[in-house]
Amino acid sequence: MNILNAMRRQKLLSLSLLLFTLSIGILIGTLVNTAVRAEKGQSAARDASPLTIPSPAQLSTAFGQLARQLGPSVVNVTSTYGARQARQLQQTPRRRQPTPSPDEEEDQGGLDLFRRFFGSPFGDMPQLPFRGQGTGSGFIVDKNGYILTNNHVVQDADRIRVKLHDDPKEYDAKVIGQDFELDIAVIKIEAGRPLPVAKIGNSDGVQVGDWAVAIGSPFGLEATVTAGIISAKGRDIADPEHQLQKFLQTDAAINPGNSGGPLLDLKGEVIGVNTAIATATGGYQGIGFALPINMAAQAYNQIIKTGKVSRGGIGVNFRKGGPPELLKAYGVSEGVFVDTVTPGGPADKAGIKAEDIIISFNGKPIKDGEDLVSRVSATPVGSEATVEVIRDGKKREYKLTIAERAALFPDTVGGRRVPQEPSRTENTEAKFGFWYRNLTSGDRDRMGFDEKGGVLITRVDPGSFAEDIGVLPRDILIAINRQPVNSVDDVQRIQATVRPGQPVALRIMRGVPARTGRADWQTVFLAGTLPANP
């Protein structure tokens, strides 16, 4: 038995030794094979260093930080246009113009369709005015509520409303001043608190290839952030109404509604005001234009000081990009060939004529038309200047007084003038913001209104208390705060008892078109709190 146990132990020991030896061999073979492979890998490029994967890039984080930092200072701007302005904006070919919303277009079309088949139930009464609406962007540059935006976003608007970041309230804005040539406007809101301000940068330091971030409200979508690079500088998009504009071009997505928003660098500083797009479809196609902030700041500073932007002019017209042979034929290589002279302007009074070639301004050579416009426009209105020209191969020098550029060229650089308000002969109530008159028997017959009492509302002031609560032209006012209204005198009497901050309830009758060709009249109740400054 002892012999058998000894034999078993010996076999087990031998097996264990064999397994141990095999394990050592496998381990040594693996190490040798790995070393050989490593030797072979290094032998292909012994002097090469292995690639090292860096930490994740922080650029996306930088964009997010910019959005958080600048977002609160970027605002949404909505402009409302009356019937006359909306029609003019639709009929006037402009590269940027407010357009009515789809709902407004559909509503107007529905009214036209109804009138075509059933006629107007109101006879010669004024029709419901079409109101256009445009949206854009802007950014706060002063904590007291001053906002920089594009002029085309607010021009000719009856009412301008501003919505702040993360604030459901809409604030009425007033225009402080406009620069038609640079397409810049300054508007102001009363928020009742200090507002976050965008940091202004220096656009002169921007280089092609620099990162750029645009923030705005394209298509009405607030606080939209897009990124790209600066594609070019000093772009001129050949618009005679905006001759002074020299844009930063960017491929950061800019769409309708981005107008007036800021273009930022990666330091979070504003380097431009998003202004226009180059597109065949009306949408983003990779080319957007922003006015350099240095130009916009100069206009802003004049506006907050005087309410307008003043630039010098001498009253000469020239062809931009004319053939160089034209100058050579007159014996010069640089200068401005005068096509026409504005009658009564400084150049005309001084004796400058068509076919003269302007070669210097205040003693400094003039290279081309852009050089002349830049130099003259920067010269204060009313100051004296010296212009040197070539005429018939001889140099002549003229003294003149710089005039207001917009006054010399009102059709091209003066901007569209806001139409004068029509004469208003109706009685009006400033507290409520609607115009009204007594109903005649002829009105009642024509309108199919058989009830007694009431006054006819003929107009509603844009931005007024009446518009806010929903009063419409052609409504018939029946009662104010449950007191019957039978005449204009009743309105005057009742409104005298209402104070700002008090609730006002109106009972009106509103006509709904019917197939009979007359109107079905429905009772509508409207109410609101009379503001302190209606």
- Tell me the CATH number at 498: 2.30.42.10
Catalytic: 423? no
What is the predicted pLDDT for the residue at 105? 32
**Domain shared by 366 and 436, yes or no:** no
What is the predicted pLDDT for the residue at 12? 62
What is the predicted pLDDT for the residue at 171? 94
What is the predicted pLDDT for the residue at 447? 83
pLDDT tens track for 185-210: 999 999 999 999 999 999 999 999 89
What is the predicted pLDDT for the residue at 163? 92
What is the predicted pLDDT for the residue at 280? 61
**Domain shared by 396 and 491, yes or no:** no
What is the predicted pLDDT for the residue at 272? 92
pLDDT tens track for 501-524: 888 989 999 987 665 556 688 888
Dist CA 504 CA 527 (whole Å): 5
- Annotated catalytic residue, options 73, 79, 137, 152: 152
Residue 226 has pLDDT above 70, yes or no: yes
Asked if the structure places residue 99 within a domain, the reply is yes
Asked if the structure places residue 346 within a domain, the reply is yes
**Domain shared by 368 and 479, yes or no:** no
Residue 496 has pLDDT above 80, yes or no: yes
Q: Which residue has the tokens 């005679």?
A: 240
Q: Which of 119-128, 269-278, 344-353 is predicted with the least confidence, judged by mean pLDDT? A: 119-128
**Domain shared by 91 and 184, yes or no:** yes
Looking at 154, 189, 224, which one is the last position of a domain? 189
**Domain shared by 456 and 368, yes or no:** no
Asked if the structure places residue 274 within a domain, the reply is no
**Domain shared by 459 and 372, yes or no:** no
Asked if the structure places residue 179 within a domain, the reply is yes
DSSP string, 391-432: ETTEEEEEEEE-EEHHHH-TTTTS-PPPPPPPP--SEEETTT
- Annotated catalytic residue, options 259, 461, 464, 475: 259
Q: Which residue has the tokens 């073979």?
A: 29
What is the predicted pLDDT for the residue at 242? 66
Structural domain that includes position 84: 68-189
Catalytic: 231? no
Q: Which residue has the tokens 């009306």?
A: 282
Q: Which of 144-148, 257-261, 329-333, 429-433 is predicted with the least confidence, judged by mean pLDDT? A: 429-433
- Annotated catalytic residue, options 156, 158, 179, 183: 183
Dist CA 236 CA 228 (whole Å): 20
Residue 115 has pLDDT above 70, yes or no: no
Residue 102 has pLDDT above 90, yes or no: no
Q: What is the number of structural domains in the chain?
A: 3
What is the predicted pLDDT for the residue at 82? 63
Indicate the residue type of 298. Answer: Q
Contact yes or no for 356/392 (Cβ under 8 A):
no
Looking at 189, 208, 224, which one is the last position of a domain? 189
Q: Which of 97-101, 216-220, 331-335 is predicted with the least confidence, judged by mean pLDDT? A: 97-101
Looking at 376, 408, 440, which one is the last position of a domain? 408
Asked if the structure places residue 197 within a domain, the reply is no
**Domain shared by 456 and 359, yes or no:** no
Residue count of the chain: 534
**What is the mean pLDDT of the segment spanning 47-72?**
72
pLDDT tens track for 459-475: 888 878 888 899 998 89
Contact yes or no for 213/226 (Cβ under 8 A):
yes
What is the predicted pLDDT for the residue at 44? 72
**Domain shared by 184 and 83, yes or no:** yes
CA distance readout (Å), 183 to 178, 223, 260, 378? 8, 22, 9, 17
Q: Indicate the helix (H) or strand (E) that contains 361.
A: strand 357-361
**Domain shared by 394 and 458, yes or no:** no
pTM of the predicted structure, to 2 decimals: 0.61
Dist CA 302 CA 405 (whole Å): 15
Dist CA 171 CA 507 (whole Å): 27
**What is the mean pLDDT of the segment spanning 380-398?**
93
**What is the mean pLDDT of the segment spanning 71-98?**
62
Residue 141 has pLDDT above 50, yes or no: yes
At 245, is the secondary structure helix, strand, or coil? coil
Catalytic: 259? yes
Q: Which of 49-53, 141-145, 366-370, 505-509 is predicted with the least confidence, judged by mean pLDDT? A: 49-53
pLDDT bracket for residue 531 (50, 70, 90): confident
**What is the mean pLDDT of the segment spanning 284-298?**
86
CATH number of the domain within which 160 lies: 2.40.10.10
Asked if the structure places residue 129 within a domain, the reply is yes
Asked if the structure places residue 155 within a domain, the reply is yes
Q: Name all contacts of 114-121 with Cβ < 8 Å and 24+ positions apart.
A: 114/513, 118/513, 118/515, 118/517, 119/517, 121/447, 121/448, 121/511, 121/513, 121/514, 121/517, 121/518, 121/519
Dist CA 85 CA 156 (whole Å): 7
pLDDT tens track for 307-333: 988 899 999 988 776 677 778 877 888
